[in-house]
Structure 1
Amino acid sequence: MRIDVHTHVVPPDLPDFATSLGDPRWPVFRLEGSTGRLWKDGAEVRAVPEAAWSVDRRLDHMDKVGVDVQVLSPLPPLTVDWADESYGFAFCAQVNYGIAEMVQRAPSRLAGLGMVPLQDCERAICALEDAHGLGLKGVQIGTQGGTRELDDPQIRDFFARAAELGMTILVHPLILGASVPWTTRISGLPLTFGLGMTTDTAIAAAALVLGGVTAELPDLRICLAHGGGTFVWALPRIAHAWAMTNDVPLAQQMRNVYVDTVVYDRANLDHLIRVLGPDRVIWGTDYPLPAAAEQTGELLAGLPDEHAAAVSGGNAARLLGLSP
């Protein structure tokens, strides 16, 4: 099987809280023919093709490129972990219901990840449980829980509940546009896309691994988007410093951490497989972002036979509980 774990959708029937609440920070999705436009803060942040909301168009693409299963997750700008908790919960619920409806249209070809208002642990757990009840396989979160880092004790119960339910957590950076909110030294699209997003992912990964979340919850399943960002590349230095004050090897803290293959370069993919092992690298394309989807698909060509089946589908099937 070829299972793409990193694809995004925008359910078309989203509440327009930007209008009803008079708050332009809320994402608004508008259809213009075969193009969907996502607006936030009064500006268009993403234009997506019909496959972002149409199951039929998505299946057409999957058949064309030879993908057996896609795992649908919310387009990252839909994340509302800054919002009032009650409205955030309502927005997440509508997104999750929309994704579940898409999956139900083609349950043998699609699986889904929902979203939660992680700024409020109790509501996040409720949203997680609702997503589980809808048949979703996990949830996508950002690199923080509101303003809290992911190892904050106040959101530990959320991760514990995810482990109990067997719900996979996809950690995805949320940086938009050409600036990074936590520094003025990274700006412009190349650096924001290349350094901002990958560093943001690495900080989140460090909180989960070095902050004890993955060790405390060995049944928790974490998948880091974009190859884990810069975290895997920095592991030798991190592990060296970790060993100075810790008896447990850092690698043991990472046994339940997976990464996808959205790294744009075959040498990078080979590095991930070498460092983490072929059983914890999972094919993903960032579809419907065209360049990422095309380049990531090409990376699988020529993988050794002993790695190809695992990376292209076997690892994802095991992680998400998907049947061949």
Structure 2
Amino acid sequence: MAEASKIQVPRVKLGNQGLEVSKLGFGCMGLTGVYNSPVSDEDGISIIKDAFNKGITFFDTADVYGTHTNEVLVGKALKQLPREKIQLATKFGIAGVAFPPSMKIKGTPEYVRSCCEASLKRLDVDYIDLYYQHRVDTTVPIEETMGELKKLVEEGKIKYVGLSEASPDTIRRAHAVHPITALQMEWSLWTRDIEGEIIPLCRELGIGIVPYSPLGRGFFGGKAVVESLPSNSFVSSHPRFVGENLEKNKHIYNRMESLAKKHQCFTAQLALAWVLHQGDDVVPIPGTTKIKNLDVNIGSLKVKLGEEDLKEISGAVPLDQVAGDRTYGNLMHLQWKFANTPPKESKV
């Protein structure tokens, strides 16, 4: 495998509003826990700097990650990097998360502004390149939420607006108020719900696509298959990683592992390369806490796949054979509810 530091990470346009980013981004969420134990500030800053030095300039965080600590960590790292060369994305909208799964979602104009001001302070920056509504609050017309985001753009506090996990109708209505630059959705070989309607809509409107969890929440990295997950990991109780579901899904991993040998790459690289090959407007944001995994992810850019290869890889992961929901129970649908009761726990 080529050294990650010697791989040229391409630059691409994300959406048609002028934002240019590295073709591969970096999801910072895991640096403050969720998938594993949080890393130290020193280690977190180190991996962000290493990613930048290897060509990644697009970094993704959110106010809810680590209950604000993720933004603080990212902000510290940015102080050691040239800000003008970084594309910084963060999010607002999830006011609380509790387990069993429930979300408190807010999208009022006042909340939008207060979240933006707080994120700017935690990140210690003058502006946010890409500001996403993390989840949509359907008790507030999307036009009102977008109206406030438009004001923040006009004030120079944010440069571009994004949505995450939004419905087609919401995307259209939001885009009519102010152009949406990027849509962040879960997209990987075993989570492909957005391919039927949302991807074509984004391309119709000129909206870039930012897949989160492009490695199936790490599944295609193999640890859940060949080792065991830490008990404190977010995915240790995920529907696709438990009991019979995991045993069934191991067959999918094994097929991908065989194909990876054919392509002379790691299984994770083949799975990520498949996402990267879905279009020039697709910028996945895998995250990791380890330099070796970062290098593997960057190495996926060297994996070249033709149309027949892509069909063969897709065929190795039949969606009707993927066992378990893509997220916890009804959590995906809870984003469309506004919980008036405070969360039992403040953890992601």
Q: TM-score, normalised on structure 1?
A: 0.48
Q: TM-score, normalised on structure 2?
A: 0.45
Structure ranking higher on relative contact order (CA contacts 8 Å, 6+ apart) = 2
Greater percentage in strand = 1
